[in-house]
Amino acid sequence: MAGLGTATVLGAAPARVDAEEAKIPSIAGPDPATKTPGFNAPPGSVDTHTHIFGPASTYPFSPTRPYTPPDAPLEMFRALHAKIGVERAVIVNATVHGTDNRVVTDAIAQSNGNYKGVANINAAMSDDDLAALGKAGICACRFAFLRRLGGVGDMKVFRTLVDRVAAIGWHVDIYLEAGTIQEFVPILKALPVTYVIDHMGTISAAKGIEDAEFKALLDLQAGDEKCWVKITGPERASAAGAPFHDAVPFARKLIDNAPDRVIWGTDWPHPNVKIMPNDGDLVDLIPLFAPDPAVQHKLLVRNPERLFKFEAKS
């Protein structure tokens, strides 16, 4: 898996790198016509799963990246949140930037305390490197157990890295391959640290609410106080397409199951999706996920403040 102890190899011949990069598939950018949502997010709301891509001229993409996105820089990021009425954000460094986390830490430095970050790390990083990331506003690191992003990798290295970040007060972000929740339950339960499962466990709405994988996720969420779930990716889960209402019952179940350990995000600029969502539509799903304003406040404000250690506005 990318980021589990395999630092980017330097010194390859430029012609070879160019030839290899030419084979990397390109992906679409976000919908440029963001709608103004009908739902007004409460003050202090946090979009807890976002990415910034480039500009590649300043923050070069890794030559070993699995895909090439168009630039989605800080200016676009800010405009998106102004349009949807969200004040704060957590920037998750994507695989395209490898273990160069500057695109995240530079944005945090310009945010006046409104941004936090999730880093990509590897075993070559020293304790001083991790401490510097923590000072720069990083609260967690991400492990993507997806074949298209490099696969699982060495689980001993994974556990060593988890132990190291646990020692400095970080949590870990877990992105699982669809259909692998049951396989990972014992691994996740054994972790010594809070973990957050991305994109509602990459569930498939087509399989229905009684699917064994979704039931396993609900059981894990209810039974392990270390388990948090991101209410993100309805466009990834949906079988019906926009406005992704077939994903709503899954999100509601997860929120009702552990309302103090769920957080929400857009996943802007939506890398590798089959259907590009409009972020205004995604915001308008929130009251369907959580009709109670008190629960909306937990999902959008109070829970992310606790997890990411934002200054309390709740």
Residue numbers annotated as active site: 267
| Nearby residues of 67 by Cβ (< 8 Å), 6 or more positions away | 24, 25, 26, 27, 96, 271, 272
Closest CA to 228 of 65, 19, 49: 49
Q: Is the dihedral of CA 229, 233, 237, 238 positive or negative?
A: positive
Task: Say which residues have a Cβ less than 8 Å from residue 192's Cβ, sequence separation at least 6.
Answer: 162, 163, 166
Q: How far is CA 131 from each of CA 61, 135, 170, 264, 296, rounded to the nearest angstrom?
A: 24, 6, 11, 27, 33
Q: Is 64 left (phi over 0), alpha (psi -120 to 50) or beta?
A: alpha
d(CA 184, CA 118): 21
